[in-house]
Amino acid sequence: LAVRRLPRGLNRATLTALTGAVGTVAAWASLDDAGHAFESFLLVIAYWTAPWLGVVLVEQWRRRRTPG
């Protein structure tokens, strides 16, 4: 979002405060299920990390074996 494209009465500070308030309300509304949500987030990260690390390691291994 470019600052130049904002309406005249809405500056960056106002937009930041508004976004922070909306985020706080959303976080407060989902607070009763925070433990389950965090556990699900960690599982997604764990499922994503192993294949990504495999790709990175194979790429590094192949790059070292390939001549110049």
pLDDT of residue 68: 60
Are the C-beta atoms of 12 and 3 separated by less than 8 Å? Answer: yes
Share above pLDDT 90 across residues of the chain, in percent, rounded to a whole number: 43
- Domains of the chain, by residue range, sit at 3-65
pLDDT of residue 66: 72
Read off the pLDDT of each residue in 31-35 and give the average, rounded to a whole number: 82
pLDDT of residue 3: 63
Read off the pLDDT of each residue in 36-63 and give the average, rounded to a whole number: 92
State the DSSP code for 4.
Answer: G
Read off the pLDDT of each residue in 24-41 and give the average, rounded to a whole number: 86
Radius of gyration of the chain (CA): 22
Share above pLDDT 70 across residues of the chain, in percent, rounded to a whole number: 90
